[in-house]
């Protein structure tokens, strides 16, 4: 899949990066847990379970453990997207969306006693008033407060489409007032032109997959932009002192953290964790050469608040 949509470039195939895990795992959320790490992702429902996961003791060798979320009834939907998990108040909480295909998604919450589940939905729709909401990412700030970052559809804007938002996570199952975080700001973030959505036709823009790292009083936001279906998908970043903003985005192309190149096709939907040595690590997915699936990749990350800057340390690639 080249940037022009003409398919894979065979001259670049030899330099493609090896995924961290051999099985597809879209939208990887990697979390440090007792004894190692666990990666949750988007995948099909199998045997009544959604949210496929894999565990690792060293961030190198991964073992799949199957779906960890008990699926709801068919009326809720058949597509479970982008689960993220956090530990809070003596339990483990999964935030995810479910809908029918790519329509009707709402954010929900499930609970488990441990990070490997089973997670059971609590019957709470966190975003009942949104047209469409996906990619929930819980974040505990340095002052101890919790926030939920997510993506939602916005029509009343010069660039209609999927925008980023946040809300205080007052309890594990209750949101405060939603505030806007970031709207699309560049033509490279167009998902599709003349896209039928919500009863109209729009030049549809997409920002999604928000994830925040709090460091020394600064919030670093990574997010994905464009269409997840092709090589134009990319990972960008912004920063702020508070979830309420204002959020600062470096001028393009300095806003882009990861883009398609000789190693990756459509790198996006990232999360961050800490490695065995305390080094920041970014997890993201990218297409394989045959465009048969999105696979998880891991790379060391350098977070420099002095810039501020958020950089992949390309001298330390696998």
Task: Give the CA radius of gyration of the chain.
Answer: 18
Q: Which strand (E) or helix (H) includes residue 194?
A: strand 190-197
Q: Residue 213's beta-bridge partner residues?
A: 220
Taking the C-alpha atoms of residue 69 and residue 297, their distance in angstroms, rounded to an integer, is 23
Number of CB atoms found within 10 A of residue 71's CB: 19
Number of CB atoms found within 10 A of residue 192's CB: 16
Residue 161 three-state SS: strand
Which of these is catalytic: 208, 255, 263, 280? 208
Tokens of 176: 């405060």
The half-sphere exposure of 131 on its side-chain side, counting CA atoms within 13 A, is 13
Which of these is catalytic: 27, 121, 153, 263? 27
Query: Does the active-site annotation cover 263?
Result: no
Query: Does the active-site annotation cover 261?
Result: no
Q: What does the DSSP 8-state code read for residue 250?
A: P
Q: What are the residue numbers of the active site?
A: 27, 208
């Amino acid at each position: 899949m080249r940037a022009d949509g003409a398919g894979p470039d065979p001259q670049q195939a030899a330099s493609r990066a090896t995924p961290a895990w051999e099985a597809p795992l879209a939208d990887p959320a990697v979390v440090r847990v007792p004894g190692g790490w666990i990666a949750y992702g988007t995948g099909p429902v199998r045997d009544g379970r959604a949210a496929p996961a894999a565990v690792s003791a060293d961030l190198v060798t991964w073992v799949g453990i199957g779906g960890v979320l008990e699926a709801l009834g068919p009326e809720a939907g058949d597509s479970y997207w982008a689960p993220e998990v956090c530990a809070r108040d003596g339990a483990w909480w999964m935030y995810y969306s479910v809908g029918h295909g790519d329509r009707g998604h709402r954010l929900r919450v499930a609970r488990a006693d441990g990070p490997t589940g089973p997670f059971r939905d609590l019957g709470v729709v966190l975003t009942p008033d949104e047209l469409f909401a996906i990619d929930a990412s819980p974040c505990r700030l340095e002052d101890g407060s919790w926030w939920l970052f997510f993506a939602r559809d916005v029509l009343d804007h010069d660039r209609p489409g999927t925008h980023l938002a946040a809300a205080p996570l007052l309890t594990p199952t209750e949101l405060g007032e939603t505030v806007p975080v970031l709207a699309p700001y560049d033509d490279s973030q167009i998902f599709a032109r003349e896209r039928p959505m919500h009863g109209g036709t729009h030049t549809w823009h997409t920002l999604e997959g928000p994830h925040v790292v709090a460091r020394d009083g600064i919030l670093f936001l990574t997010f994905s932009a464009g269409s997840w279906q092709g090589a134009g998908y990319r990972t960008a970043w912004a920063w702020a002192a508070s979830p309420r903003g204002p959020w600062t985005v470096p001028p393009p192309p300095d806003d882009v953290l990861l883009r398609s190149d000789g190693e990756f096709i459509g790198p996006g939907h990232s999360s961050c964790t800490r490695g065995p040595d305390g080094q920041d690590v970014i997890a993201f997915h990218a297409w394989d050469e045959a465009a048969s699936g999105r696979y998880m990749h891991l790379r060391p990350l350098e977070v420099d608040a002095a810039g501020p800057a958020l950089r992949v340390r390309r001298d330390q690639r696998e």
